[in-house]
Structure 1
Amino acid sequence: MHDFGMAALHHVLVFGLAIMLAMELALMRAPVIDVRRLVRLDAGYGITAVLVIVVGVTRVLWGAKGWAFYRDNPAFWTKMGLFAAIGLISILPTVAFMRWAKAARANPEFQPTAAQRAGVLRCLLLETGLLILLVVAAAAMARWPLV
């Protein structure tokens, strides 16, 4: 039952990441950017990502399949690489949101430029694409070895 509970929690957290990423994309496409909301949402995204890692490590170390299953599974390492890439890319929007929040505190009328918005939007879209690939890698990982 422990393994099932950890798997279910891991999946719920990953769906949470996807939902928060979709919400960030929606907020970025609004005519007027709600910077404070973006900052809060991005903080939730970061916290959820950390929880995904904690639960994932717990599954790898103490789950039913054991470390040997993951160690020798190329789909697992693909998934880890994709998660790391998403994490690194997500730094750019986070830094932008923090800068925008500082600017909005100084000037309540502040709005990011079209170029700033476009740069962040590109990062969020790239994260989304990589997250889709991560889910595919997770499905392959669970069925390893593929027959």
Structure 2
Amino acid sequence: MILESILAFLHLSAIFALIVFSTSEAALCRSEWMNARIVERLVRVDRIYWIALIAIVLTGLARVVWGIKGAGWYWTNWLLHLKITATLVVIALSLRPTLRFRRWQGALQSGGTLPAEAEVTQVRKMVMVNTHIVPLIPLAAVFLARGFGGR
């Protein structure tokens, strides 16, 4: 029971961290605010975002393997597969903004160039789409934890 509680706490903490840092990226990624400090901050925030995303995956797997319900119960539940799919979509959608932030940082360090307004707007839209998908994962988790979707 203690292990289950600790794993749930760590998993939820990682989800909350992901939401905080995803929202921070969306707030910072605005063309009217873009400057050298914002580019550097976006890269740092994005690193923490990825740490949270990796923590979500690892703690989620730990809950499946060592959780009270057991791996057999989880793997037969379609809601777990929905969560995994949504998480993979979030990971895939997160790659492009990450690469752009790093490219912006490289351009800034090599020549002092800031990204174009259109590119910042495009990246912000990608971050916003991702930010709106993330809450669906804990929604599925709530139903999963209460036994929905099982056979």
1:96-134 CA-partner distances (Å, limit 9, x unpaired): 0010000110233x3211221122112111111110211
CA-CA distance at 1:69 after TM superposition: 1.7
CA contact (8 A) 2:83 2:140 kept: yes
Which residue in the other structure is 1:91 paired with? 95
**Which amino acid is 1:18 matched to?**
I
Which residue in the other structure is 1:26 paired with? 27
CA-CA distance at 1:145 after TM superposition: 2.8
Q: Name structure 1 gaps, 5 residues minimum.
A: none
CA-CA distance at 1:144 after TM superposition: 2.1
Q: Distance in 2 between matches of 1:116 and 1:80?
A: 30
Moved over 4 A (4+): none
Identity value in percent: 30
For this pair of structures, how many residues does the alignment match?
A: 146
Q: Distance in 1 between matches of 2:148 and 2:108?
A: 52
Moved more, 9-18 or 111-120: 111-120
1:8-39 CA-partner distances (Å, limit 9, x unpaired): 11001100000000100110126232110100
Q: Distance in 1 between matches of 2:74 and 2:115?
A: 43
SS in 2 for 1:44: helix
- Alignment map for 1:1-147 (pairs within 5 Å): 1-29=2-30, 31-33=32-34, 34-108=38-112, 110-145=113-148
1:34-87 CA-partner distances (Å, limit 9, x unpaired): 110100110111112111111111110011110112111111110110000000
Give the superposed CA RMSD: 1.5
SS in 1 for 2:135: helix
CA contact (8 A) 1:89 1:123 kept: yes
CA contact (8 A) 2:40 2:105 kept: yes
Q: Name structure 2 gaps, 5 residues minimum.
A: none
Q: Distance in 2 between matches of 1:7 and 1:30?
A: 38
TM-score normalised by length of structure 2: 0.91
CA contact (8 A) 1:76 1:141 kept: yes
CA-CA distance at 1:139 after TM superposition: 1.3
